Amino acid sequence: MTFQRARTEEQRTERRRQILDAAAAMLAEMPVAELSLTALSRRVCLAKANVLRYFDSREAVLLELLEAQMAECITELESAPAPDGSARERGDRLADLFAVSLAARPMLCDLMASQAAVLERNISVETAIRHKRKIRESLQALVRLVRRYLPEFGDEDASALVQTVMLTAVAAWPASRPPQALLAAYETDPSLAAMCIDFTDTVRRSGEVTAAGLLACRQ
C-alpha cells in the first residue's frame, strides 16, 4: 500500500482515528504489554515512521485511547440515575456502580494499570500536557458525579473517593489476572487461591469503605 500523506486537518484527523481504532481492535485481542508499534503499523498498513507522523510513540497512541475509553465510561456513569436512600446506601450504590462499570471495560483497566509505569514514560512534553489536561477533566467529571450521589461531600471528600477507587482499580486489575503458572499453583494448592483477588469485589469494597469513612468524619 502506497503511503499518502494526509494534507488537510480533516485527513489528519481521519488518519489518527484509523490508528486509534486499530489499536483498540488489537487491545481486544491482546494485553497492552504485547501491543508493539511494529504490529500496530502493520495493522494500519503504514510504516512506523508514518505512524509517528501522527503520534509521538506507541505510548502516545495508547494514552489517547485511554482518554477516549475513560470519557465513554464517564458518559455511562453519568447516565445512571442517582438513587434515593440514606447517605450510606447512596455511597454503597455509587461504589458498586464504579466497580461494575470498570470491570465491564477491561481495555480501560489494562490501560490504566499501565499508565504511570509505562505509558507516560515515552512521550513528548506537549503530549504529556495534553494528556494530563484530559485526565484532569475526567477526574473533575467524576468528582461532580460523586457529589451528585453524595451532596454531603465537598470537592475534597469527593476527590478523595475518586482517587481511592481509581488507585484501587489500577492495583487490583493485574493482581486479579494472574499468569498461567500462578493459576496452576492455586489449583495445586487451594490454600493459596485466596491470594487471587476478585477485581469487582475489591474495587466495590474499597469504594464502600472510603465513602463510609468520609461520611463518618463529617458527623
Query: pLDDT tens for residues 27-83?
Result: 999 999 999 999 999 999 999 999 999 999 999 999 999 999 999 999 999 999 878
Instruction: Read off the pLDDT of each residue in 91-115 and give the average, rounded to a whole number.
Output: 97
CATH number of 1-54: 1.10.10
140-to-26, 31, 145 alpha-carbon distances in Å: 30, 28, 9
Indicate if the pLDDT at residue 3 is higher than 70: no
CATH number of 58-217: 1.10.357.10
Query: Are the beta carbons of 124 and 177 closer than 8 angstroms?
Result: no
Q: Report the amino acid identity of residue 120.
A: E
For the record, the C-alpha cell of 80 comes out as: 445512571
Range 90-94 average pLDDT? 96
- The tens digit of pLDDT for each residue in 189-212 reads 988 888 889 999 999 999 999 999
Please give the single-letter amino acid code of residue 86.
S
Residue ranges per domain, the chain?
1-54, 58-217
Q: How many CA atoms lie within 13 A of 172 on its CB side?
A: 21
d(Cα 116, Cα 110) in Å, to the nearest integer? 12
pLDDT of residue 8: 76
Burial classification of residue 18, based on how many CB atoms lie within 10 Å of its CB (0-12 exposed, 13-18 middle, 19 or more buried): middle
